[in-house]
Chains A and B, each alone.
Chain A
Amino acid sequence: MTASRLKPLLVLAGLAALVIAPLGEGNYIVYTLCSWLIFSIAAMGLNLTLGYAGQISLAQAGFMGLGAYVTALLTLAGWPWLAGMAAGVLLCFCVGLALGFPALRVQGHFLAFITLAFNSLFFLVGRNEAWLTGGTYGLSEMPRPSFGPFSAAKQLPFYYFTLTVFVIAAALLWGVLRSPWGRAFKALRENPIRAESLGLDTRRLTLLAFAIGSAYAGLAGSLVTPLVQFIAPDSFAIGQSLRILLMVVVGGSGYFFGPLLGAAVVILLPEALRVTEGYYLMIYAVLVILLMEFCPRGLIGLGARFRDWLAPVHQVHADLQQASEP
């Protein structure tokens, strides 16, 4: 198939674009690019939970916060960033397991509610336990990481540092989704009943997807800490979780590159709609409702639909198509 030959080329071109994008740009643009990459990581994690395992998590910002606070506290205590990041990611993974285990025992959208509760609790603890988290004033002056001669203290090197982490995270996720184990995720998404009847432990798969997705949020959080160098509970409130959820859905849940597109739209659209002043969130909400109504698979899904309409291809049943691939 030509599409599968074209794909690596497109990815390489995209990567090259990411490398040259910040050159010659001001600090603000570079900062926005960094935060786009960081939110893309969090959204990629949620995409695993939502797009592949079909569960809603409303705690992605809470997990980001967990990663951010752990990284901040450890780096302020003199630990290297890598150690802080690893601790944050691991903690998010474990908390994800602990939250998901009871919630996924039962059908329905219990995970959504329990993660909503977790995010609210996280916010309360962050605000009230000032001895640890700095309360509403938050934590500040976290150092930026440096690796030997490479120091990410300035904005441009920090961008390349973020990009490196992003590429590693994306490659790992790609690997996971291509492994037999990741194919089980896809089976789960396409037809849970069939997946279960083929002997897949859907509950365990779902739990793992959620825990890994949460760990990705922790990774994103550990990048927020050195980027902003100031963290407060407000940045990780429930509204932020909804924003990340929107990124996944707007981009196209279940598509690998959906979250990247979604993060770009969600971060840039408010800027574009700023001319409408106070009405931009309302317009935004209406756009989301329209998208859900007419194209629930998001912008990438919309693109795919448009392509099919332009050049209808011979319909092959999904299973057969995979078997016919070389």
Chain B
Amino acid sequence: MPPDVQRKRTMTQFLQVLLSGLSTGAIYALAAIGFVLVWQTAQTVNFAQGEFIMLPAFFVLIGLNWFGLPLWGAFAFGLAIAVLVLGYLFKRVIVQPMLPNGGLPLIIATMALSIFFKEGAKQFYGAEAQPFPSLFPQTMMKIAGATVSVQDFGNLAVAILAVVGLTFFLDRTRTGRAMQATAQNPAVAEILGVDTRRMVLYAFLINGALAALASVLISPIYLAKFSSGEGLGLIAFIAAIVGGFNQIKGALAGGLLIGVLDNLTATYVTTQYRAALPLILLIAIILWRPQGLLGVSEGRRV
């Protein structure tokens, strides 16, 4: 094989790996952003975040297979149930009554919740991995000479669009700014006439919607399985911490970074220790830059 063809081929492979890394990373970012929103507005460290992404895929499947809805109807059904259960009910039944008990009981409760969701999906839908319909055709297309999968490209586009839309909402609308004020200083926000309880509720609803979106995007690739949230939750935490725990754009950067690094490691270095990479990244960040790559140090509060 002539050297320039060889080079072109490795280049193409690199681009493909990069794009599919970005596309998975953008989905991680959706999970991480929801995690950060809930953390900021309600000081809730949600250990069930991975299951929050596993579950909506099953809601969609229930809509498809049990109620016989068309694909788009099933997606809408999944989104609605996710916002209701993972957003509203999670806040009202789990978080709100437990906030006065301090952070620790709530963390334990979210761990128990993750067991509950996992076992629930297994008992009520089945232990086998379920195929999941994709939003995008399973074909390849050419961009700038490189062949890339339409699915990867579409996932990346949808996820980025969602993040841009969310950022716009938070920065440019009255409600979004009120939510930010609630996250920064609830007492002052309340004095200024912000309905803080409603803002906190919005954060939970958005988390439910983001989880549903992430679920719909990732399930065609990794299939819908009761245990598929286990790794995802950890990656969402790590993405949030790596990017900076108090920043939405940090969570986006963290998610993308982990997605890309993960794919590069798996392709070029080792598949055995693929899962170790985000963990090592986490330890390195905590050692050298605990406020995260894009985060701002909050100073020490005792």
Q: What is A's interface to B at a CB cutoff of 8 Å?
A: 50, 54, 56, 102-103, 105-110, 112-114, 116-118, 120-121, 124, 128, 192-193, 196, 242, 245-246, 249, 253, 278-279, 281-282, 284-286, 288-289, 292-293, 296
Contacts and interface: CB of A to CB of B under 8 A. Distances in A.
A172 to B, nearest CB: 26
Contacts of A246: 108, 111-112
B143 to A, nearest CB: 35
Contacts of B98: 292-293, 296
A165 to B, nearest CB: 28
B17 interface: no
Secondary structure at chain B's binding surface: helix, strand, loop or mixed? Answer: helix
Contacts of A120: 234, 275-276, 279
Secondary structure at chain A's binding surface: helix, strand, loop or mixed? Answer: helix
B283 interface: yes
B138 interface: no
Interface string B113-146: 1011001101100000000000000000000000
* Best-surrounded residue of B104, B108, B241 (most CB of chain A within 10 A): B108
Nearest to A56: B107
Ranked 9 nearest A-B pairs via Cβ: A296-B105, A285-B116, A288-B112, A117-B279, A292-B105, A106-B290, A296-B101, A285-B112, A285-B115
B104 A54 contact: yes
Contacts of B302: 192-193, 196
A107 B301 contact: yes
A108 B245 CA distance: 10
23 contacts: A56-B104, A56-B107, A102-B287, A110-B286, A112-B45, A113-B241, A114-B282, A117-B234, A117-B279, A121-B279, A128-B272, A128-B273, A253-B104, A278-B123, A281-B115, A281-B116, A288-B108, A289-B94, A289-B109, A293-B105, A293-B109, A296-B98, A296-B102
Interface in B15-36: none
Contacts of B282: 113-114, 117
Contacts of B106: 292
Contacts of A193: 302
Contacts of B301: 107
Contacts of A281: 115-116, 119
Contact of B107 (A103, A109, A278): A109
Contacts of B275: 120, 124
Contacts of A192: 302
Contacts of B238: 113, 117
Given A292-B112, A296-B102, A282 B273 contact: no
Contacts of B286: 102-103, 106, 110, 113-114
A192 B238 CA distance: 28
Contacts, number: 116
B300 A107 contact: yes
Contacts of B109: 288-289, 292-293
Interface string B157-186: 000000000000000000000000000000
A106 B287 CA distance: 10
A56 B111 CA distance: 12
A126 to B, nearest CB: 12
B97 interface: yes
B58 interface: no
Interface string B77-116: 0000000000000000010011001111111110111011
A223 to B, nearest CB: 26
Given A105-B290, A114-B286, A288-B109, A296 B104 contact: yes
A293 B280 CA distance: 35
Given A121-B279, A128-B272, A288-B109, 11 more contacts: A50-B104, A54-B104, A107-B301, A121-B276, A246-B111, A282-B119, A285-B112, A286-B116, A292-B112, A293-B98, A296-B105
A106 B120 CA distance: 36
A288 B111 CA distance: 9
Interface string B277-291: 001101100110011
Contacts of A196: 302
B237 interface: yes
Contacts of A245: 108, 111
A293 B106 CA distance: 8
A125 B86 CA distance: 35
A110 B286 CA distance: 8
* Best-surrounded residue of A107, A117, A196 (most CB of chain B within 10 A): A117
A124 B277 CA distance: 11
A296 B287 CA distance: 32
A106 B245 CA distance: 12
Given A288-B108, A296-B105, A282 B120 contact: yes
A105 B299 CA distance: 11
Nearest to A129: B272
Contacts of A112: 45, 107
A130 B116 CA distance: 34
A118 B276 CA distance: 10
Contacts of A117: 234, 238, 279, 282-283
A88 B180 CA distance: 48
A292 B286 CA distance: 29
* Best-surrounded residue of A106, A107, A114, A282 (most CB of chain B within 10 A): A282
Contacts of B272: 124, 128
Contact of A249 (B45, B108, B113, B123): B108
Given A117-B279, A121-B279, A124-B275, A289 B113 contact: yes
